[in-house]
Structure 1
Amino acid sequence: MSRKVWLLAVILMTVILGVNNTIYYFTTKNSLESNLRQELESIAKQIEISIELSRSGAEVYQEQIGRELRAASIAAQFALNPQLDKVTNGQLAELREKLDLLDITLLQRTPDNIILAKSSDPGQIGLQTKTWDPWYDAFTQLFDESRVTIDWGQTLDHFWSGPFEFSSSDTSKVNKWGYYYDGTTDYIIDPYISYDGRQQQYDEKTGVSHLISRTLNENSSILEISVINPHTFPLGPTTTVTEKGEVLKHMTQEPIISGSNEYKHESDKDNVRLAHIKDEYVWLDTELKDKHVIKLYIPVSIDNKVASMVDENGDPIDRYILTLVADYKSIQDKLDKQLVHIGIIVAIVTLLSLLVLYLTFASHRKSEDKLVRKAQETYVDEVNGLFQSIRAQRHDFMNHVQMIHSFAQMNRIDELMRYTEELTGEIRQMNDIINIGNPAIAALIRSKISQAEPLKIQFKADFTDINKLELGVKSLDLTRMLGNLIDNAFDEVQSYAEERRCVTVKGCQQEGYLEFVVHNICDNREQLDDHRIFDPGYSTKNEAHNGLGLAIVKSIVDQYKGTVKIVQNEEDWISFIIRIPH
């Protein structure tokens, strides 16, 4: 094989290894990214569970506060006159201090409204509640039925309480109110406490905001956590204007229930809506605040609807959206570290593969060069042998003439006939070899005749028009092709009886191509694999044969754009036919 072919093979193998390693690199990269996303989902799930437990605990704690407000209402009922006009604001202030409340207000029903009639807080007195939805409905049901049936807030016997909310009399404060009415008074008792007390302490230690803050501190890769109301998030903060003209926020309808939303993206509203409707995770891989981040939108279902999270109409929501913003840099650092290790392994494997490939090619080329040198030496020996035979025949010519003269003088005609017949056969055989016309082929045939005699092989050669042919084929390649085919035939027939050891070689010039045929006895034709017989190393013979002979023939034929095939024209005979175009 030429140097260019070897170089092309090395380049091709290098490209294949490069493509394979590149595919492996990116496949592994995608796999690692997928694993890291699964890890992020696992973290998100843990945060989701923790937040839900914390939120549920806060709701239970609020319900406990509601029960305490009911108890305070009953205590206030026993301490106050059942008629509103006989109760003073001073009494309510004194009762507030005894019951450890923020304030106590009494609600009175008028023909077209329910007003805050008396209170320990002067700012509450005179406020109307008809626009307080759904609070007004709850007050109405308490006056009418002494019980509340709306699907919102905390309902107990003769009692109802809403969640912590901003105060309409002081929009900077967050309070929780309780409302009690059992029909024995002409007013609703409304004790309330401030968020700044026990509830704030609870939230600071175990609440959702505390949990979010702690999670952010312990996970450097998590940049932000938000609890989002999917109903009000697209609308923005919900507010109303109080009777004093102040803007009142509605805590229960806040778009961001807990956490922050500093890492905003233009697709946030669509992604929150998608996660809410499909009830499945939504991923966003983007740049926010000059950082490569992954934003995860997680829908969290609420088993028991609560009053602290409601939609734009004031109805409790059944699902909120938890968002996590993760810094992709920390993820990328882990990924790059693993990919560097993989890259080193890939590089080492590639270099080892190329080294093995080089050594294999070098060994094969060395083996082939050795075969070529051997063929060249054989070719030189065969040509020298042919010339030596011609010189020997010429040298013995005088002796042959003297023998003929002696037999003639002695009138020994029979012996003379036998002697000249043997001499003529030897001369004819040599002339047939010389008449082949191609010195290389002639030398090869003469060598194979000498090789066949001790092996008891009947070897015949028939070449026509070879002397007139512009071959275009190197003499060395010609002798290598024919020599390997003849040797292959000799090896095959040696296993048969002497009378069946027959090998024939023919060569001729046809129109457009040069044809050579090697014909020999063969009993195991059906065992030959026509597809593999020309492969390097394949052999049906014993282990002493390396299986390179026919492979060399095939490579030389291919080099000259020729063909080689196996034909069985008659039983027990096989032919190898070579055709080389010229």
Structure 2
Amino acid sequence: MQRNIWFMAISVIVVIILLNNTAYYFLTKESLEDALNREVAAVARQIEFSVEQSRLGAERYQDLIGDELRVVSIAAQYALDPDVDKVTNEQLVELSAKLGVNHITLLKRVKDDILLYKSSDETQLGKSTKSWDPWFTVFNQLFDQQNVEIDWLGKSLPGFWSGPFEVASTDPGSIYKWGYYFDGTTNYITDPYISYTKLAEYEELTGVDSLIKKTIESNKALLEVTVLNPETFAKGPFETVHPNGEVQEHILQQPILYGSYNYVAKSDVANVSKAFNTKQNVTVDEVVNGKHVFKMFIPVFTEDKGLNIVDENGVPMDSYVLTLVSDYQVIRDQMSTQLLNIAIIIVLVTALSLVTAAVVMNYYRRSRDNAVQVTQQTYVDEINQMFHSIRAQRHDFLNHVQTIHSLAELNKHEELIAYTKELTGEIRQMNDIINIGNPAIAALIRSKTSQAESYRIMFECTFTSFEQLEMGVKTLDLNRILGNLIDNAFDETMRYPESMRMVELHGLQRNGFLEFTITNTCEDAEKVAAMPLFQSGYSTKDQQEHQGLGLSIVKSIVDKYKGTIDIHADGPDRLTFFITIPHKI
């Protein structure tokens, strides 16, 4: 039975530790996932900031190119005749080379159209601009000497406007940036332009694509970074098919602005739209191209419409969506490493806890076994002492009979009466002890009776209906209760003269209860009864000889069996303890 109790206790401890560690493991796993998500978001934020800086730098560089084109326009105007009909294409070829631009074209207003009238590029000659929106609007505003005001990208100055780099309508295979100048002193708009080469060289060194490439190289978990046009992403590339069959793709409306887009998922369009419309980050993990990836869609909004991005209708935008693709396996490996370390710590702590619990339990068991052994040894000694007293009475019986016979022959009636009275008192006392009915309690009382005789204490005790009291743990606890109460009473009475040393003990079993009362001599009993006698460490006696634990132990045992213990003054010099303990036979 005892082994089963210990096994159950250890099993409960193990289950509690395992449940605690399991909960800790999953909570830690969730925390690590959140931390890694925040780390990816922080990397995304850093990329976003760097992209913005790089993009703003590129836009500033474009503004500088626009300023150069204005200077070239003014220089060209001074070098050319103010009448477009007196300017030759050869002059424009020579002037383009001198001023460091790819080409110079002169635009002339003809009725309701504006033509590319003269140019250093012969493929430009005679082209109509009437279908070029919004360029045609700009050209008319310049000819009318109005400030250029259109909802479009570019740089507007008095008499001048420069648009962004874009695919040329007259040469769909080339990308240029144009500048248009007209101050009213000529009958044409001067239009110098340069190719994308200069900006490409700049972006190769410091541009967004270069930044994305370096970022991916420095982060082993990062697979891809893409800057998307949220308005055109779902519709694909915007293209114009010319009458000659050539296809012109528009840079400003392309869905992929920077970076690459190789990890394509069906849910990308919905996620880009969700991030753009809600202005909240969207994160998903899914399998793309056979690889488990973690994708984050981040909407980015600028303070003004300074982006080189337009929607499908050509309206400039102030936002884009930044997409990051991370290798989820790398993230999982990082988590696995950290979780492995945590698991090792959990195992070590669990093992240490179990070892500690086993040591404590073993120590407690040994202490308990020692206490039981001491109690049992005391019980055996007291039983042996009682049996020894009985055997001694039987051994001396013949001597007693001979003494009685001699006193009778000598007619010593008074001496005979005194002797037999003394003899019957000892036999009665022994019989009373034997009649308690419980050997353990009988042995304790026999021992305390002998102790009382040596202390010159008048010790009286009676026990009623204890014949059916069961042996076991309860009997041991009862002996601890009675032993401590008797010792406490003896200690108190030893403070008084022999004539005042009196202790009475009564035990009764009835109605499912065990009742004990013990009364001893005690001066100022009312005052003593009000003291915290059951408090551990409290004692009214010499602190060097007594630790104040006896009554505290009695109280703890009574409480364990859900009993009660009371103390009251039974007169001015008598103190009584009353104990009641539930007990079923």
Question: Which category of TM-score, normalised to the shorter sequence, fits these structures?
Answer: 0.7 to 0.9
What residue in structure 1 maps to residue 432 of structure 2? 432
Match in the other structure for 1:508: 509
State the one-letter code of the partner of 2:484: N
Alignment of 1:52-451 (within 5 A): 52-151=52-151, 152-195=153-196, 197-306=197-306, 308-451=308-451
Rounded to whole Å, the distance in 1 between the matches of 2:50 and 2:331 is 23
What is the match of residue 565 of structure 2? 566
Q: Contact between 1:444 and 1:479, CA under 8 Å: does it hold in 2?
A: no
Residue 448 of structure 1, CA deviation: 2.9
Is residue 102–residue 193 contact of structure 1 (8 Å, CA) maintained in 2?
yes
Q: Deviations over 1:466-486 (max 9, x none)?
A: 33x3x5x3x243541221111
- Residue 288 of structure 1 aligns with an amino acid whose one-letter code is V
- Larger mean CA deviation between 349-358 and 302-311 belongs to 302-311
| Cα offsets for 1:19-66 (capped at 9, x unmatched) | 222223333333333333333333323322222221111111111111
Q: Which residue in 1 is equivalent to 2:483?
A: 487
Return closer, same or farther for 1:255/1:503 CA change in 2, 3 Å cut-off.
farther
- 1:549-564 correspondence runs (5 A): 563-564=562-563
Q: 1:179-219, CA deviations, whole angstroms, 9 ceiling, x for partnerless residues?
A: 11112222222111111x21111111111111111221222
C-alpha change, 1:514 and 1:414, in structure 2 (3 Å) is same
How far apart are the structure 1 equivalents of 2:292 and 2:171?
Answer: 43
Paired with 2:287 and 2:548, the residues of 1 have a C-alpha distance of 65
Q: TM-score, normalised by structure 2?
A: 0.87
Query: Aligned pair 1:527/2:532, yes or no?
Result: yes
The question of whether the paired residues in 2 share the 8 Å contact of 1:113 and 1:129 is answered with yes
**Matched residue, 1:20:** 20
Partners of 2:347 and 2:218 lie apart in 1 by 37
- Aligned with 2:67: secondary structure? helix
Deviation string 1:368-423 (CA, Å, 9 cap, x unpaired) is: 11122222222222222222222212222232333333444444444333333322
1:576 pairs with 571, 575, 579, which one? Answer: 579
- What is the alpha-carbon distance in structure 2 between the residues aligned to residue 489 and residue 548 of structure 1? 8
Q: 1:459 to 1:17 in 2, by over 3 A?
A: farther
The 1:552/1:528 distance shift into structure 2, 3 A limit, reads: closer
Q: CA separation in 1, counterparts of 2:378 and 2:529?
A: 30
* Whole-angstrom distance in 2 between the partners of 1:93 and 1:501: 138
1:540 Cα deviation from its structure 2 partner: 5.0
Change (3 A) 1:520 1:485: farther
8 Å contact from structure 2 (residues 558, 581) kept in 1: no
Of 480-489 and 341-350, more deviation after overlay is shown by: 341-350
> Secondary structure of 1:171's partner?
coil
AA in 2 matched with 1:480: L
Query: Any unmatched runs of 5+ in structure 1?
Result: none
More displaced 10-residue stretch of structure 1: 483-492 or 287-296 = 287-296
**Residue pair 1:484, 1:550 contacting (<8 A) in 2 also:** no
Matched, 1:477 2:473: yes
AA aligned to 1:437 is G
Which amino acid letter does the alignment assign opposite residue 67 of structure 1?
D
Deviations 1:273-319 (A, max 9, x none): 34334444333233333333222223333234325122223232222
CA distance in 2 between counterparts of 1:270 and 1:526 reads 81
Corresponding residue pairs, total:
565
Q: Is the 8 A contact 2:66 2:179 kept in 1?
A: yes
- Whether the 8 Å contact between 1:216 and 1:223 is mirrored in structure 2 is yes
Tell me, yes or no, if the aligned pair for 1:108 and 1:117 is still in contact at 8 Å.
yes
Moved more, 81-90 or 519-528: 519-528
Partner of 2:492: 496
Q: Match of 2:254, as an amino acid?
A: E
| 1:49 correspondence with 2:54 | no
Cα distance in structure 2, aligned partners of 1:456 and 1:238: 119
Taking only the aligned residue pairs, the percentage that are identical comes to 46
Q: What secondary structure, in the 3-state scheme, does the structure 1 residue paired with 2:454 have?
A: coil
Instruction: Confirm or deny: 8 A CA contact 2:293 2:328 kept in the other structure.
Output: yes
8 Å CA contact retained: 1:162, 1:307: no
Which residue identity lines up with residue 517 of structure 1 in the other structure?
F
Give the distance between the partners of 2:208 and 2:555, measured in 1 at CA: 83
**Alignment match, 2:497:** none
Gaps of 5+ in 2: 495-499
* Alpha-carbon distance between aligned partners in 2 of 1:581 and 1:489, rounded to the nearest angstrom: 23
State whether residues 162 and 177 of structure 1, in contact with CA within 8 Å, keep that contact through their aligned partners in structure 2. Answer: yes
CA contact (8 A) 1:457 1:503 kept: no
Query: Structure 1 residues 456 and 199, CA, compared in 2 at 3 Å: closer, same or farther?
Result: farther
What amino acid is the match of 2:577? I
User: Would you say the 8 A contact 2:107–2:115 is kept in 1?
Assistant: yes
Distance 1:285 1:61 in 2: 38
> For 1:123 and 1:500, how far apart are their aligned partners in 2?
137
Change over 3 Å in CA distance of 1:334–1:478 after alignment to 2:
closer
- Per the alignment, in what secondary structure is the counterpart of residue 403 of structure 2? helix
Deviation at 1:462, TM superposition (A): 2.8
Higher deviation after alignment, 438-447 or 222-231: 438-447
User: Distance between the aligned counterparts of 2:456 and 2:73, measured in 1?
Assistant: 129
Which moves more between the two structures, 308-317 or 562-571?
562-571
Q: CA deviation at 1:456?
A: 5.3
> Partners in 2 of 1:284 and 1:278 — Cα distance?
16
1:159 to partner: Cα distance: 0.7
In 2, Cα distance between equivalents of 1:126 and 1:457: 141
**Offset at 1:98?**
2.8
Residues 128, 418 of structure 1: alpha-carbon distance in 2 compared, 3 angstrom cutoff? farther
When residues 528 and 116 of structure 1 are mapped into structure 2, their CA distance, relative to the original with a 3 A threshold, is farther
Please state how far the C-alpha of 1:80 moved relative to its aligned partner. Answer: 2.7
Q: Is the 8 A contact 2:104 2:193 kept in 1?
A: yes
Q: Is the 8 A contact 2:275 2:298 kept in 1?
A: yes
SS at match of 2:300: strand
Kindly state the Cα deviation for residue 354 of structure 1 after the two structures are TM-superposed: 0.9
Residue 237 of structure 2 contacts residue 253 of structure 2 at CA under 8 Å; is this kept in 1? yes
Task: Give the counterpart letter for 2:465 in structure 1.
Answer: D
CA distance in 2, matches of 1:25, 1:528: 50
Contact 2:114 2:129 in 1 (8 A): yes
Query: Contact 2:89–2:118 at 8 Å: present in 1 too?
Result: yes
What is the Cα-based RMSD across aligned positions, in Å? 3.1
* Distance (whole Å) between structure 2 residues aligned to residue 514 and residue 87 of structure 1: 131
Q: Per-residue deviation at 1:247? A: 3.0
Judged with a 3 Å threshold, the aligned counterparts in structure 2 of structure 1 residues 74 and 577 are, in CA distance, closer, same or farther, namely same
Q: CA offset at residue 554 of structure 1?
A: 7.2
Kept in 1, the 8 Å contact 2:216–2:222? The answer is: yes
Instruction: Tell me the amino acid that sits aligned with residue 502 of structure 1.
Output: V
Query: Equivalents in 1 of 2:562, 2:347: separation in Å?
Result: 42
